[in-house]
């Protein structure tokens, strides 16, 4: 049995035909077109192309960077305000599910990734911002209005920096990749690396840290410490079996931060058993999760 997993991002549209073990048979991408009509057409063309090659797909899942609720999608990345994507996709003539990308990613990790077989899991991205997909009792926890998982906007510092959401001291203002980059800029401006002529990128800092640059290492671990602070909050709230990490800060720095992060969380959290793991699915967690949701939907149609 096969399903199509689609990841509709603000930058790229990516899709794959996926089997029930999570293997991807075709895997393609293109830049996300601008405009709703062009976007729908691109999704339709992708699905038609997949079905020509694999006629027996049972459904498609679409992961989107936004709030999915009541048949509408609201997404700043896609510039959508209550856009009825599920209804628009009825032209596909194929059962189609639409899910928030972090929720889809969490489900992908649960079905095919590091969280396989787990029932209570948090999928956490530490990237430009911080967001989570939450699995409780084996099911995606969406909240009453599809707004669950906005963990980046939990306040950890009353007097902290002003966040885009309007509050001060949100977790992502100190623990995201953006905050990390800001501290790198400040360190460079204050003469931390006198031999460097230009500001090192976060990747440069990761490399330098691995090579023993103490200032670089301190910067990475400082961000890791702030990550640990919020992860501890999540662990105290949900007591998950595992937190699965992804994103532009967590992935390249994992080797460096993993042990430190685990010590931080074990030191502070009530749970002493929650695993902190790095994604194995990489950029494909959303695609695989969307396909897994399509399999799920097909199974529940069969049992009706």
Residues near Zn ion (CB under 5 A): 153, 163, 165, 170
- Cβ proximity to Zn ion, 84 vs 160, nearer residue: 160
- Over 88-108, what HEC string results? HHHHHCCCEEEEEHHHHHHHH
How far apart CA 84 and CA 72 sit, in angstroms, is 4
**Shortest spacing between CB 274 and Zn ion, in angstroms:** 25
**Shortest spacing between CB 141 and Zn ion, in angstroms:** 20
Q: Which residues pair with 99 in a beta bridge?
A: 63
**Shortest spacing between CB 167 and Zn ion, in angstroms:** 5
The residue to which tokens 């899709």 are assigned: 15
Measured CA to CA in angstroms, residue 289 lies from 30, 37, 78, 105, 244 at distances of 20, 25, 20, 5, 14
- Cβ proximity to Zn ion, 129 vs 286, nearer residue: 129
Question: Residue 191 in contact with residue 139, Cβ under 8 Å?
Answer: no
- Cβ proximity to Zn ion, 84 vs 169, nearer residue: 169
- Cβ proximity to Zn ion, 153 vs 258, nearer residue: 153
DSSP for residue 162: B
**Shortest spacing between CB 147 and Zn ion, in angstroms:** 13
- Cβ proximity to Zn ion, 75 vs 176, nearer residue: 176
**Shortest spacing between CB 257 and Zn ion, in angstroms:** 23
Measured CA to CA in angstroms, residue 245 lies from 126, 142, 147 at distances of 7, 19, 20
């Amino acid at each position: 049995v096969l399903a199509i997993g689609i990841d509709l991002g603000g930058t790229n549209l990516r899709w794959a035909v996926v089997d029930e073990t999570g293997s991807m048979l075709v895997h393609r991408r293109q830049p996300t077109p601008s405009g709703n009509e062009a976007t729908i057409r691109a999704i339709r063309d992708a699905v038609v192309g997949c079905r020509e090659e694999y006629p027996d797909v049972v459904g498609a899942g679409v992961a989107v960077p936004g709030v999915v609720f009541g048949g509408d999608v609201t997404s700043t990345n896609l510039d959508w305000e209550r856009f009825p994507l599920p209804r628009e996709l009825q032209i596909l003539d194929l059962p189609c599910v639409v899910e928030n990308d972090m929720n889809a990613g969490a489900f992908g990790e649960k079905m095919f990734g590091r969280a396989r077989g787990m029932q209570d899991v948090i999928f956490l991205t530490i990237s430009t911002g911080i967001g989570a997909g939450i699995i409780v009792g084996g099911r995606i926890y969406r909240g009453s209005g599809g707004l669950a998982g906005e963990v980046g906007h939990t306040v950890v510092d009353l007097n902290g920096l002003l966040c885009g959401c309007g509050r001060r001291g949100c977790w992502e203002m100190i623990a995201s990749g953006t905050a990390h980059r800001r501290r790198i800029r400040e360190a460079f401006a204050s003469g931390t690396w006198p031999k460097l002529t230009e500001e090192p990128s976060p990747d440069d800092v990761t490399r330098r840290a691995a090579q023993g640059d103490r200032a670089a290492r301190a910067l990475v671990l400082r961000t890791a410490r702030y990550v640990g602070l919020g992860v501890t909050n999540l662990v105290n709230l949900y007591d998950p079996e595992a937190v699965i990490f992804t994103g532009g800060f967590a992935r390249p720095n994992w080797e460096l931060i993993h042990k430190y992060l685990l010590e931080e969380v074990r030191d502070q959290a009530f749970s002493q058993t929650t695993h902190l793991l790095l994604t194995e699915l990489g950029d494909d967690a959303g695609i695989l999760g969307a396909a897994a949701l399509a399999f799920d939907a097909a199974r529940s149609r069969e049992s009706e």
